[in-house]
Structure 1
Amino acid sequence: MTEITLGSVALMVLAVIFLFVRQGVRVSLVNRRATLDAAAGASWTLFAALMVTATVLIGATVGRFWQAWAGLTVAFALCAILFAAALALILRAPDRRR
């Protein structure tokens, strides 16, 4: 039970940090003249990718799932897809100018 509590607290702390990162990315994109919708979409996609990655890593550590290679492979493939989508949206956002 202690491990689950520590994992949950760590995930909440990371969520707060990732929200600051999301806000920084959004402000940076808006400063580069991207539309608010494009900046918000790109920053939320990055936040989702970071949270999914943190959840998988914390869940694998707390639940000792490092032996479940098939499940971790699928989870990290999802993370890679989310990061690729976030990168594409971040790179494309300044092209959608105000």
Structure 2
Amino acid sequence: DPDTPAPVRFLPAFDNAILGYHDRSRIIDDAHRGLSVAGARVVLVDGRVAATWNVEAGTVIVTPLGRFSRADRSTVAEQGRALASFLSDNDSQRIQIAASPC
């Protein structure tokens, strides 16, 4: 059902969900299409690219491409903590969400 919300997902660089399709408009806005070919790690919110992410000193840093709702920010933070824990072998759950560009 197209009205079913998609969960927040952190995708690695060069993930097939972005690179596997010629028409990426179903997942990424035209304004941000360059991210897919630049090898950016992206965050999907409701099935759309909404941020990029990287890791610095054990902290997952999320850089939104637009404004997150309060609920989306909370869910991104929760998933980011889980990712930080996974990447650090349960040594860190640190996440930083950068200020929105808007």
Structure 1 length normalisation: TM-score? 0.35
Higher helix share: 1
Q: Is the radius of gyration larger for structure 1 or structure 2?
A: 1
Whichever structure has more strand as a proportion of its residues is 2
